[in-house]
């Protein structure tokens, strides 16, 4: 594979990895905590070429799952990686783009393209995130077609069909756990003359029947990559990146290119009661765009909503592969707090730190939907926009204080917090008792490594070198069940 002269070293993170491996033991430098066990499972794109055609966008690459297994007592780290064997991947591997991806359409004549708009099958390229349906492990993307896999072998078990009639075309790869019931909560967007966001819950018994909580209508649905829950509410943050659903069928453009940036709409925050689907209200704040919510919680008569907020949606354009590999000017998102007065209707906006933050993680098991103290994410050294995300950031959301980890020429991915097993569930202080795991690309060494940091200080405890470069991925989970 050639490297264009204007490509930057981090462009390697936007290249395919075709090699699948299973290594029982990586070389480990430093010392793992003795309590660390289980697996870090990560998802991300790893195949961008279909014959002589290329997928166009970072979010289009075909899904690969990576697994790091830990035996802290023996100081061992194992590694395996495998493509998800989906219809989308099989076609691309055979040189055909057969399903519409986020920003790439199947290659067809204009006539056929218009015709197939009405009949096309959605992609099963679940390259975004991983979650559990009870005991089952599934990979997710923004079409409602989860793909189940075996975490022990990384073998693909197949597309999970939902046993209900919820019918939507678009969903999020970021379901939440209802903080009270433990049910999975998510929504699907049902496109129509008037579209609907259908918020649903799914029992964690391994079944796939979704139960409708409530519906919110929208003439011009927003592109929302994630949403938030508090203990009481589901919160949909409608950024002013909106679509006229008919255009998805008629325009002949790939999915995301049908959405328009209309900042005059502001950001509409829909607050829906998780118990009965009743609409508490729709609130309007200043325009922004975000992929990721950090957390949300009820605070008296307010809902507090923390986002990694961009000024606009131009970040999507900069992540087309030709631009991402050269990266002139990367828009940066910053942790931003929206405080929504449920009775007053007031929306106050406050930036929590000048540091950039993306791919945020919290102590989810104990703090999801509740007040919390720490957020972890990837950031940009000195706020530089002429490089890719190159540092890890820990933010104290109550004080704005930050810690960072940085190593020149290295590009860390999403930091996954793993709390020490005896960490008390105290509301403060214990949230950061544990380690942070991140897969770091070191283009100079033409390799990646798994980095283990102390979650309190972001100082290094250990690293384990992988024998190849792991392409930039999105999201992962730690589990002690695999
Ligand atoms: Co995401």
* Predicted structure pTM score: 0.96
Q: How far is Cα 355 from Cα 113, in angstroms, rounded to an integer?
A: 44
Å from CA of 141 to ligand 1 middle: 9
- Ligand 1 centre and the CA of 293: distance in Å? 9
The dihedrals phi and psi of 312, each to the nearest 5 degrees, come to: -155, -170
CB neighbour burial string for 196-218, b if at least 16 within 10 angstroms, e if fewer: bbbbbbbbbeeebebeebbebeb
Of residues 232, 194, 191, the one with CA closest to residue 213: 232
CA of 472 to the centre of ligand 1 (A): 13
- DSSP 3-state of 11: helix
DSSP strand pairing (37-45 vs 402-406): unpaired
How far apart, in Å, are the Cα atoms of 460 and each of 73, 296, 453? Answer: 18, 30, 4
Residue 344, number of CB atoms within 10 A of its CB: 11
**DSSP characters over 288-308:** -EEEEEEEEEEETTEEEEEEE
Q: Please report, to the nearest 10 degrees, the dihedral formed by the alpha carbons of residues 452, 458, 461, 467 taken in order.
A: 40
CB-based contact 384:328 (threshold 8 Å): no
**Angle value at C-alpha 299, between 307 and 189, nearest 5 degrees:** 45
SS3 89: helix
- Give me ligand 1 centre to Cα 475, in Å: 7
- Measured in Å, residue 29 CA sits from the centre of ligand 1 at 30
Give residue 120 CA to ligand 1 midpoint distance, Å.
25
For residue 27, how far is its CA from the centre of ligand 1 (angstroms)? Answer: 30
Q: How far is the CA of 360 from the centre of ligand 1 (A)?
A: 9
Within 13 Å, how many C-alpha atoms sit on residue 157's CB side?
A: 14
Ligand 1 center to 359 CA (angstroms)? 7
Cα of 476 vs centre of ligand 1, distance in Å, is: 10
Distance (angstroms) between ligand 1 centre and the Cα of 41 equals 15
CA–CA separation, 333 and 325 (whole Å): 19
Instruction: Please tell me the predicted confidence (pLDDT) of residue 110.
Output: 55
Max CA distance (Å), the chain: 62
Phi then psi dihedrals of residue 258, to 5 deg: -85, -10
Q: Please report the domains of the chain, with CATH numbers, ordered by start residue.
A: 9-354 (2.120.10)
HSE at residue 43, side-chain half, CA atoms within 13 A, is 29
Alpha-carbon 478 to chain mean position: 15
- By the 8 A CB rule, do 189 and 221 touch? yes
Read out DSSP for 333-375?
A: -EEEEEEEETTT--EEEEES-SS--EEEE--HHHHTTS---EE
How remote is the CA of residue 304 from the centroid of ligand 1, in Å?
Answer: 20
Query: What are the CA-CA distances from residue 365 to residues 389, 399, 418, 475 (Å)?
Result: 27, 22, 10, 16
Asked whether 324 and 390 are in contact (CB, 8 A), the reply is no
- Phi-psi category of 135—alpha, beta or left, where left has phi over 0 and alpha has psi -120 to 50? alpha
Give dist(CA 199, CA 175) in Å, integer: 10
pLDDT at position 282 is 98
What is the C-alpha to C-alpha distance for residues 54 and 431, in angstroms, rounded to an integer? 43
Residue 210 tokens, joined:
């979704």
- Given this model, what pLDDT does residue 206 score? 85
Q: Give distance in angstroms: CA of 291 to centre of ligand 1.
A: 6
| d(CA 468, ligand 1 centre) in Å | 24
Query: Which uninterrupted H or E stretch holds 402?
Result: strand 402-406
Q: Which whole-number Å values give the CA distances from 263 to 183, 284, 318, 331, in the listed order?
A: 34, 12, 19, 17
Distance 290 CA to ligand 1 centre (A): 10
Q: Give the residue carrying structure tokens 């209309």.
A: 262
Ligand 1 centroid to Cα of residue 109, in Å, is 33
Rounded to the nearest angstrom, the distance between the alpha carbon of 114 and the centre of ligand 1 is: 30
Residue 343 CA to ligand 1 center (angstroms) comes to 31
pLDDT at 250: 86
In angstroms, what is the span from residue 76 Cα to ligand 1's centroid?
Answer: 29
Contact (Cβ atoms closer than 8 angstroms) between residue 272 and residue 216: yes
Instruction: Give the separation between CA 5 and CA 37, rounded to whole angstroms.
Output: 43
Best CA proximity match to 41, nearest among 150, 115, 117: 150
- In order along its 482 residues, the chain shows pLDDT tens digits of 445 667 889 999 999 999 999 999 999 999 999 999 999 999 999 999 999 999 999 999 999 999 999 999 999 999 999 999 999 999 999 999 999 999 999 876 555 555 555 457 899 999 999 999 999 999 999 999 999 999 999 999 999 999 899 999 999 999 999 999 999 999 999 999 899 999 999 999 988 899 999 999 999 999 999 999 999 999 999 999 999 998 888 888 999 999 999 999 999 999 999 999 999 999 999 999 999 999 999 999 999 999 999 999 999 999 999 999 987 789 999 999 999 999 999 999 999 999 999 999 999 999 999 999 999 999 999 999 999 999 999 999 999 999 999 999 999 999 999 999 876 665 555 899 999 999 999 999 999 999 999 999 999 999 999 999 999 999 999 999 98
């Amino acid at each position: 594979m050639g490297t264009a002269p204007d490509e930057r070293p981090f462009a390697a993170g936007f290249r395919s990895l075709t090699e699948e491996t299973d290594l029982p033991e990586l070389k480990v430098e430093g010392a793992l905590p003795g309590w660390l066990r289980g697996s870090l499972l990560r998802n991300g794109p790893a195949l961008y070429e279909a014959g002589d055609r290329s997928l166009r966008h970072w979010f289009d690459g075909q899904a690969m799952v990576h697994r790091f297994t830990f035996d802290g007592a023996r100081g061992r780290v194992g590694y395996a990686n495998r493509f998800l064997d989906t219809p989308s991947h099989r076609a691309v591997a055979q040189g055909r783009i057969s399903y519409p991806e986020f920003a790439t359409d199947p290659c067809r004549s204009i006539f056929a393209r218009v015709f197939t708009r009405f009949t096309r099958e959605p992609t099963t390229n679940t390259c975004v995130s991983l979650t559990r349906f009870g005991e089952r492990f599934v990979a997710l993307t923004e079409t409602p077609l989860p793909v189940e896999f075996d975490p022990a072998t990384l073998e693909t078990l197949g597309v999970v069909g939902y046993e209900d009639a919820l019918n939507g075309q678009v969903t999020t790869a970021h379901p939440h756990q209802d903080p009270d019931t433990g049910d999975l909560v998510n929504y699907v967007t049902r496109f129509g003359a008037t579209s609907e966001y259908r918020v649903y819950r799914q029992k964690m018994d391994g079944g796939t029947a979704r139960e409708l909580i409530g519906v919110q209508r929208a003439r011009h649905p927003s592109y929302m990559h994630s949403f938030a829950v508090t203990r009481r509410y589901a919160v949909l943050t409608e950024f002013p990146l909106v679509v006229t659903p008919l255009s998805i069928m008629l325009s002949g453009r790939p999915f995301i290119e049908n959405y328009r940036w209309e900042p005059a709409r502001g950001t509409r925050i829909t607050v829906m009661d998780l118990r009965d689907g009743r609409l508490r209200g729709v609130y309007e704040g200043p325009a922004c765009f975000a992929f990721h919510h950090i957390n949300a919680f009820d605070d008296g008569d307010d809902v507090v909503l923390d986002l990694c907020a961009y000024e606009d949606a131009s970040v999507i354009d900069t992540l087309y592969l030709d631009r991402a590999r050269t990266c002139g000017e990367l828009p940066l998102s910053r942790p931003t707090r929206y405080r929504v007065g449920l009775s007053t209707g007031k929306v106050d906006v406050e930036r929590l730190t000048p540091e950039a933050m993306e791919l945020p993680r919290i102590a989810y098991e104990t703090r999801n939907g509740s007040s919390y103290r720490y957020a972890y994410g990837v950031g940009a050294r000195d706020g530089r926009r002429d490089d890719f995300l190159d540092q890890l950031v820990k933010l104290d959301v109550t004080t704005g204080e930050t810690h960072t980890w940085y190593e020149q020429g290295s590009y860390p991915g999403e930091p996954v917090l793993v709390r020490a097993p005896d960490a008390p569930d105290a509301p403060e202080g214990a949230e950061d008792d544990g380690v942070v795991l991140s897969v770091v690309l070191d283009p100079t060494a033409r390799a990646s490594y798994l980095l283990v940091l102390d979650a309190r200080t972001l100082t290094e405890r250990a690293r384990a070198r992988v024998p190849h470069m792991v392409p930039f991925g999105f999201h992962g989970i730690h589990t002690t069940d695999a």
